[in-house]
Structure 1
Amino acid sequence: MKNIPTTLPDTLLRQAQAIAAREQMLLDQFISLALASQVSVWDARAKQGDWQKAQEILAQAPNTEPEEFDSFVVFRNRATAFGTNIG
């Protein structure tokens, strides 16, 4: 087992604490269980994907700049306006 420092949004922490208390679990046990469950879901979804098919689909897209409304800069500005940090 390894301890890792992490930062959680207050609302997520409160929800996790409430569920752990309701299920009579330690918070770290609940977080480990929830993370294991989510990793399992991501693994299952990844196995359904077909990288070759995805590349073939992307190869059909035109090599042009996106329209302004569809650009990453506009998306980032909108996300920032809603308090989301996307990098």
Structure 2
Amino acid sequence: MSTIQVQIPDSLQKSLDDLAARDGISIDQFISTAIAEKLSALMTENYLIEKAKKGSREKYEAILTKVPDYRLPTV
């Protein structure tokens, strides 16, 4: 495990203290979880961008032709 030192504004520190206490976890755990969530979101976005680059409009439209037309019933 690594140790880092970070400077944050007092207002963020107050929010951090409050939210960690509300969740019943340490500030270290709160920050670790927040970092993991952000990294996961960024990696997912990058993954989807790379997948999209490999796609083709023709394949997309070919698949859509297999989906039956469906109208939602009116209430």
Per the TM superposition, whether the score is higher than 0.5 is yes
Q: What percentage of residue pairs aligned between the two structures are identical?
A: 33
Matched, 1:42 2:56: no
Could you list the runs of 5+ residues in structure 2 that have no partner in the other structure? 54-75
| Larger RCO of the pair (alpha carbons < 8 Å, separation 6+) | 2
- The Cα offsets for residues 23-69 of structure 1, whole Å up to 9 and x where unpaired, read as 1111111100111011100110111224xx6xxxxxxxxxxxxxxxx
How do 1:1-87 and structure 2 match up within 5 A? 1-50=1-50
SS of alignment partner, residue 49 of structure 1: helix
| TM-score calculated relative to the size of structure 1 | 0.53
Aligned residue pairs total 51
Detail structure 1 runs of 4+ shifted over 3 Å in the superposition: none
SS at match of 1:25: coil
Instruction: Give the 3-state SS of the residue equivalent to 2:4 in structure 1.
Output: coil
* Aligned amino acid, residue 49 of structure 1: I
Give the C-alpha shift of residue 14 in structure 1: 1.3
